[in-house]
Amino acid sequence: MPWEPIKLNSGYSMPSITFGTWKLGNGDDPISQVDQAISVGFNHFDTAQSYRNETEAGVAIRESGLARSEIFITTKYSGTDGLDIKTSIQNSLKNLGVTYVDLYLIHHPRLAVPDIPTVWKEMEALQAKGLAKSIGVSNFGVHEIALLLASSNIKPAANQILLHPYVYARQSPIVEYCQKAGIVIEAYSPLMHVFPLTTLPGGPVDDPVNDLAAKYGVTPDQILLAWTKSKGAVVVTTSSKKSRLEGYLSAGDLELSPEEVTAIDLAGAAMPRHLKIARRVAVTCLASTVAWGILRMLGY
């Protein structure tokens, strides 16, 4: 299936679709879900210090019987428990049961204490020691990336950001900036349009996505993944359902035309009426954690 590997500026290649463990929690569930993802063909796994399931991901990866070189592992420095980067990477390697990770990210710019240039030097040192083959960032905007590049010896290999049609207009400056700088964009929550909004349906992206799903005989989530792929981004997604995971991999075969991509872009550019209502509810009722949660995940 044509989810072709993407070449990083570090010289390594990264699988262009990733199974994420953000919402899996810990215990037996993430072990079984990572194992299931491996069984259907995923070979790139994304976790983080703050997800607290690196150990479970590591168990499933080791029990798969695959060679270390056949699995691409991404994890992140999240500043959990107040630990510094040097300690955090060692803990992550121990939890995962590996001697290196393929990609190590700073989870958010606010974690760059005392400042981005200082923390990035620490990341560069980790790569020099072979603890991470590639290093990068997450949730960095244009200003933060520019500040980092101004003082770095090594460019970030990737910037993992929220990306789906309803935030594309807002995120396009950082997408374009990174692409010009040779930094790969990873898109998390690319299906945020499909699943959380089932409780608040009717957004303007529904029409072009559903029309294209009918045209190609596929599901709306597959169209959204094809849209994400069209932006040159690596997809970070997840599901507990085997059939859905298989569909995600099959979506690599979809190629949307420029006109079809633009139709989704234009539909996503306007904030949906139901999100305006949710924001109004959240503003007038601070106890509305559901409304705030939906808006936060959608990038508003």
Feature table: binding site? 107
Strands 6-7 and 13-14: antiparallel
Q: What's the whole-number average pLDDT of the chain?
A: 88
Considering the domain architecture, whether residues 63 and 103 belong to the same structural domain is answered as: yes
Same domain, residue pair 219 and 283? no
Which of 10-14, 93-97, 131-135, 189-193 shows the lowest mean pLDDT across its residues? 189-193
> Exposed, middle or buried: residue 291 (CB in 10 Å: 0-12, 13-18, 19+)?
buried
Q: Is residue 58 part of a domain?
A: yes
Question: Is 83 within a domain?
Answer: yes
Residue 16 resides in a domain = yes
Closest CA to 234 of 51, 8, 22: 8
Q: What is the CATH number of the domain that holds 163?
A: 3.20.20.100
230 and 166, same structural domain? yes
Q: Do 205 and 297 sit in the same domain of this protein? A: no
Nearest to 101 by CA among 178, 201, 10: 10
Range of the domain at 288: 270-300
Q: Identify the DSSP state of 70.
A: G
- Residues in the annotated binding site for substrate: 107
84 and 128 inside one domain: yes
Closest CA to 85 of 106, 110, 115, 55: 106
The two three-digit tokens of residue 50, written as one number: 């703050």
Number of domain units in the chain:
2
Interval 140-150: pLDDT, tens = 999 999 999 99
Say yes or no: 18 and 82 in one domain.
yes
- Say if 1 falls within a structural domain: no
pTM reported for the whole predicted model? 0.88
Label residue 135 left, alpha or beta by phi (over 0 means left) and psi (-120 to 50 means alpha): beta
Look at residue 193 and tell me if it is in a domain: yes
Per-residue tokens: 191:
């299906």
**Tens digits of residue pLDDT in 154-188:** 999 999 999 999 999 999 999 999 999 999 999 99
**Residue range 248-262, pLDDT digits in tens:** 999 999 999 999 999
Q: What pLDDT, in 10s, does the model give residues 44-88?
A: 999 999 998 899 999 999 999 999 999 999 999 999 888 999 999
The angle at the Cα of 230, spanning 237 to 140, to the nearest 5 degrees, equals: 60
For residues 253 and 277, state if they share a domain: no
Residues marked as catalytic: 51
Q: 289 in a domain, yes or no?
A: yes
Same domain, 274 and 159: no
216 and 253 Cβ atoms separated by less than 8 Å: no
Cα–Cα distance for residue pair 45/52, rounded to 1 Å: 14
Residue linked to tokens 């010289």: 11
C-beta separation of 260 from 212 below 8 A? yes
Statement to judge: residues 239 and 291 lie in one domain:
no
- Tell whether 187 and 284 lie within a shared domain: no
DSSP class of 272 = P
